[in-house]
Chain A
């Protein structure tokens, strides 16, 4: 029975901030429910899977950034013992597909477009045979002129990656609301600057991985390390030219993703090889190829012009962004458009204009990375505001309080800010960090200088235009005759603790003890459809569907309790796994009752079904329309020390305050914030994919420097959560994944400026740039 939730019913439940609500399961520090298998090493990830008869797949990648494939000779490679199949562009369909722009083929038969592009794929009985076969494939390349810088790629004389794409522009985004020119002309303060954000790598510890196995009924099962089981099923069916129903996707434990684990060529190649050989095929990237052909962050050059009144009121924002798409389109166009206009719902802008070009270059295709373009723009906007405050003697806290959005505000793009504790986030961060006292401290006499910087952030909790057909989620909660509840969702826990959040939501809504609730691994043959882990949507949209399913289950449970125990529904209360009847002293356990009920129903489980479809819309041609059911906000304050002799900046303390709507699990929220802050700090202070003539020079963890425990603040990362009680989120909850990172690079850049007066406008903030800045001061 399909349960269609009543939208708005939630409003009565969420009393909003200020009113204390009593919860049995929420707001506590609950260790993740799948922690035992992780801590014992028993948790299985895709690279741990073994299927009988499994072949090992490997991919031959281009050693040139742009080259015509004159000849691909596999005759010697085919003779290697153990080689079962080798595919090249000539052997596979050349139909085009892709997540946003149909510029993907299974394997190209004409040319390769980046250093690392897929040329051929091998399936063999051992890793060794597959590797040997790769080394024997003879490819004749005709090297073509290549272009690496997005701005140069737009020039008339630049070589084209795709003949039909003029000036190498994949997509252009344009938005204009109000009258920017007029507002700028009337501004007492006009500020203009260019910022650059570099290309960085998600560096999840488990590389991209797939096992594809042909099954019964001519179907194919794929075990994927993915953030989007349901969506990738649709896309891979399109790539393989089969019906999506003939694909079964299973997502076991996933070793991190951070935006990278979306549609991926190696998954498709594993599927093609499995179908051709009739055998299971394992395809796991080694770390170098994961670096060379992953889905790194979209690099951006951001020109920004801001107009303000003398008192700091923001009057106009004009931006122009050139974003690197890489050699084929993953999600960069959506990331560019996000950078163009999502921040317009952080401040009460009335006049905004933005143009964003997503440009092809002969480099690694770029895609989602925690923050999705909004992080890039936060670096520009929040750095710019800091500089303006410095130049015009304005208070960086007050300017944000003065211009920041407030509850009930509808932005110039039609985004409806229902819950919002942005102002309170600023207040809390200022208080906890002793901001004003620290600002008054005199400069250190030693060569090591301290500094403090602030940045605020917004984000979405679901993004309607990401998947054109719809946004929403569905869930099932099954109560077994043994009294255990299992949550089935298509939303993908990739290590954030979402499955635990879902279990807590279900336990709270039904009245169960969370120890008796678990969330099943995603299996598209069983789990309902879930778009997946992106847009900070899991807790809000996926969690709301789980909530609706749990409410539906509780309704059924109450009806059956009334029937079996001959009571009226109003006489029954369920709490923490106990059932209370108002005319009876002692409660009975849910486990006992459900067994009794189940025996009257042929042994069945009770299954609650829930659907959540947010009342969001696809933005119209003017980019107007509310895209998300809820918007999270936050304020970060970074305290750094900068050694003026070495140029090295490092974190001293960090305060992160977030409006999360409602705390579902305090422990995993803190985990998200601490992880997001360190990921942002790594980006701000050193991570960089160094590319020369299209070749990545540092495709390993020795040369690509990720933060280690030694890079954590000398003091601590302090996190605080404010509960604004959103009307759409389950129990009022909004997301945390991406907002935890968005303001980090700017907060650190502003703190570095405060420490030594050096403004770094192009990430990362390296010792060289700081020393250079100090020398030219």
Chain B
């Protein structure tokens, strides 16, 4: 395949909302959503760990679901609402989402490569269980698609659990 020769044929226009901002872009048919986010939008917080949807480093939230952006064609973003780690705090430069704050305080971060994906899986899990009691087991299951090789997961689970309880007003 040679990108330049069939450029016209393989291209399409899409529009989507990412981190509360509207985008209208022309993409090529074989472009991955991960590459669109990283290379075209310059949002490097979304990491590539495996390229096969198996490690969760590239996790984003798309239409409320945590998904692996490395196995999703950019074309699928058309009409979608997307959240990446850069949008987690609501766009405020120096503010943190409480999950980010708890990860930081509880030592849930070591090398940091899995952190953005882990945060987004955690957020999707909590959003989907809004108002419900969240157990450690549910958290473990909810982040089981995200590999972390440094922390052994314990402090990550602790951080998510702490925030989930704080959110419900349980100390």
Residues of chain A lying within 8 A (CB to CB) of residue B88: 40
Kindly list the 8 A-B residue pairs having the minimum CB-CB distance in the complex, ordered from nearest.
A41-B45, A495-B111, A38-B112, A255-B113, A678-B152, A674-B152, A41-B85, A701-B54
Verify if B57 is at the interface (C-beta below 8 Å from A). yes
Nearest B residue to A673 via CB reads B152
B150 touches A256 (CB 8 A): yes
Q: Kindly identify which residue among A38, A128, A707, A712 contacts B115, using a CB–CB cutoff of 8 Å.
A: A38
B154 touches A205 (CB 8 A): no
Contact with B along A36-50 (1 / 0, CB 8 A): 111111111101100
Question: A702–B143 Cα gap in the complex (Å)?
Answer: 16
B144 touches A205 (CB 8 A): no
B111 touches A494 (CB 8 A): yes
Verify if B133 is at the interface (C-beta below 8 Å from A). no
Verify if B47 is at the interface (C-beta below 8 Å from A). yes
Residues of chain B lying within 8 A (CB to CB) of residue A717: 152, 154
Q: Kindly identify which residue among B3, B85, B141 contacts A128, using a CB–CB cutoff of 8 Å.
A: B3
A701 touches B52 (CB 8 A): yes
Query: Total number of A-B contacts with CB less than 8 angstroms?
Result: 178
Q: Kindly identify which residue among A40, A494, A674, A710 contacts B89, using a CB–CB cutoff of 8 Å.
A: A40
Question: A717–B153 Cα gap in the complex (Å)?
Answer: 10
A700 touches B54 (CB 8 A): yes
Interface of B is mostly: loop
Verify if A126 is at the interface (C-beta below 8 Å from B). yes
Nearest B residue to A676 via CB reads B152
Contact with B along A336-373 (1 / 0, CB 8 A): 00000000000000000000000000000000000000
A495 touches B96 (CB 8 A): no
A678 touches B119 (CB 8 A): no
A253 touches B151 (CB 8 A): no
Contact with A along B46-76 (1 / 0, CB 8 A): 1111111011010000000000000000000
Given known A205-B148, A287-B51, contact A712–B111 (CB-CB < 8 A): no
Verify if B21 is at the interface (C-beta below 8 Å from A). no
Question: A676–B110 Cα gap in the complex (Å)?
Answer: 12
Residues of chain B lying within 8 A (CB to CB) of residue A207: 49
A709 touches B139 (CB 8 A): yes
Residues of chain B lying within 8 A (CB to CB) of residue A36: 96, 104
Verify if B24 is at the interface (C-beta below 8 Å from A). no
B112 touches A674 (CB 8 A): no
Contact with A along B76-99 (1 / 0, CB 8 A): 000000001110110000001000
Residues of chain A lying within 8 A (CB to CB) of residue B171: none
B141 touches A670 (CB 8 A): no
From B3, B44, B85, B110, residue with most partner A Cβ within 10 Å: B110
A675 touches B110 (CB 8 A): yes
Nearest A residue to B93 via CB reads A40
Cβ contacts A to B, 20 pairs, < 8 Å: A35-B112, A38-B111, A39-B109, A39-B115, A40-B85, A40-B89, A40-B100, A42-B44, A42-B45, A48-B38, A128-B3, A205-B148, A253-B112, A671-B151, A674-B153, A675-B150, A679-B152, A706-B149, A709-B157, A712-B153
Q: Contact residues of B with A, CB < 8 Å?
A: 1-4, 38, 43-52, 54-55, 57, 84-86, 88-89, 96, 100, 103-105, 107, 109-116, 119, 139-141, 143-157
Q: Kindly identify which residue among A255, A678, A708 contacts B111, using a CB–CB cutoff of 8 Å.
A: A255
Verify if A313 is at the interface (C-beta below 8 Å from B). no
Question: A558–B110 Cα gap in the complex (Å)?
Answer: 36
Question: A34–B110 Cα gap in the complex (Å)?
Answer: 9
Verify if A435 is at the interface (C-beta below 8 Å from B). no
Residues of chain B lying within 8 A (CB to CB) of residue A709: 139-141, 143-144, 146, 153, 156-157
B141 CB to nearest A CB, Å: 6
Question: A466–B144 Cα gap in the complex (Å)?
Answer: 38
Given known A41-B85, A128-B3, contact A205–B113 (CB-CB < 8 A): yes
Residues of chain A lying within 8 A (CB to CB) of residue B145: 708
Residues of chain B lying within 8 A (CB to CB) of residue A75: none
Q: Of residues 48 to 80 in A, which have CB atoms within 8 Å of B's CB atoms?
A: 48, 80
B55 touches A205 (CB 8 A): yes
5 additional contacts (CB under 8 A) given A39-B103, A205-B111: A31-B104, A204-B149, A205-B114, A701-B50, A701-B52
Question: A40–B144 Cα gap in the complex (Å)?
Answer: 21
Contact with B along A669-707 (1 / 0, CB 8 A): 011001111110000000000000000000011100011
Given known A39-B104, A674-B151, A701-B54, contact A496–B44 (CB-CB < 8 A): no
Residues of chain B lying within 8 A (CB to CB) of residue A128: 1-3
A668 touches B107 (CB 8 A): yes
Q: Kindly identify which residue among B43, B51, B107, B116 contacts A29, using a CB–CB cutoff of 8 Å.
A: B107
Nearest B residue to A286 via CB reads B51
A712 touches B1 (CB 8 A): no
A497 touches B4 (CB 8 A): no
B93 CB to nearest A CB, Å: 9
A211 CB to nearest B CB, Å: 14
Question: A716–B140 Cα gap in the complex (Å)?
Answer: 13
